[in-house]
Amino acid sequence: MKEFEKMLNQLRDSSGELKANMHLLNEIVPVEEQMKYFEYSKYVQSNKDNTGLDRNYLIAKLFTPELDLEDRRYYLSALAGIVDVAAFRAIETYHSSPLEPELANWSAMALAESKILLDADLSGEKQFFVSTGLGGKNGKLRYFSVIASSDRSDFNEFQRESLLRELQFAFTTHNIEVESIEIKTNYLKIYLFCGLSQDGNTCIENAIKECNEMGHFVDDQFLLTNVRKIEDSEIEELLKKKNSSSDSENE
């Protein structure tokens, strides 16, 4: 946590918000895929054969029907390396409705790179890309949280309503934006947007503490991450393991 806080301090301006020259990805793109994109982009833009390519030619090729997937991947990266508003708009148009769903993440990365280069050109300042697996929005980082029942039994209606009420109150009080809440039988999945000066961890801890004043029905330990989303099957497996280990300790 100390290293993470140190990283956040480097991103903050004097008001505690994200510095103007720091850029977050709006979409959820796995870190491994982000690295793959930047490696490929570096290769494309350092290749001498790609220097001086006509912008209009690249845009026309990008929107050519029935183009090979790898070719379209190439044209997205090539356009992203051109400091040009028309190139940015072309990538933006493609990303709004990708011809190939497999390239949705790739076009998101190309759009981010194109914007960073444009901002650097307009401002004359060096720009930085903040890479997290869950991205963010409007200067806030996206977090994924899982909160489970204490004994893995299903939440009853009173417990669900109490937990939701306390969470909503805590998030509203601390100006933390809730993107979505999905209620399962014995756990909740939440996507949050937290500013750099906001402490989502303490916020959730306080909400759980308030709930457990009415009976210890929420697990004190919960997940809060901005690295990646976790699928239901993995969550359920983790909860089963934790429950089994708790049962063993009680025997």
Q: Got the DSSP string for 28-47? A: ---HHHHHHHHHHHHHHHH-
Residue for token digits 């870190």? 31
Structure token digits, residue 226: 């901005």
Q: How much is the pLDDT for 18?
A: 64
Pair 192, 179: CB distance under 8 Å: yes
Q: How much is the pLDDT for 130?
A: 78
CA distance 223 to 208: 13
**Residue 142: exposed, middle, or buried by beta-carbon count in 10 A (0-12, 13-18, 19+)?**
buried
Q: How much is the pLDDT for 50?
A: 63
Q: How much is the pLDDT for 125?
A: 85
Domains within the chain, CATH numbers bracketed? 26-130 (no CATH), 136-250 (3.30.70.1290)
Running DSSP on this structure, what letter comes out for residue 138? T
Q: How much is the pLDDT for 161?
A: 96
Q: How much is the pLDDT for 249?
A: 47
| pTM as predicted | 0.77
Q: How much is the pLDDT for 248?
A: 45
177: which strand partners? 193
Q: How much is the pLDDT for 82?
A: 92
- pLDDT 10s per residue in the chain (251 long)? 455 555 555 555 555 556 677 788 888 898 899 999 999 999 998 876 666 678 999 999 999 998 999 999 999 999 999 999 999 999 999 999 998 999 999 999 999 999 999 999 998 888 888 778 898 888 888 999 999 999 999 999 999 999 999 999 999 999 999 999 999 999 999 999 988 788 899 999 999 999 999 989 999 999 999 888 899 999 999 888 876 655 544 44
H-state helical runs in 31-184: 31-46, 55-62, 69-80, 85-96, 104-123, 157-173
- Tell me: the pLDDT tens digits for 123-151? 888 888 877 889 888 888 899 999 999 99
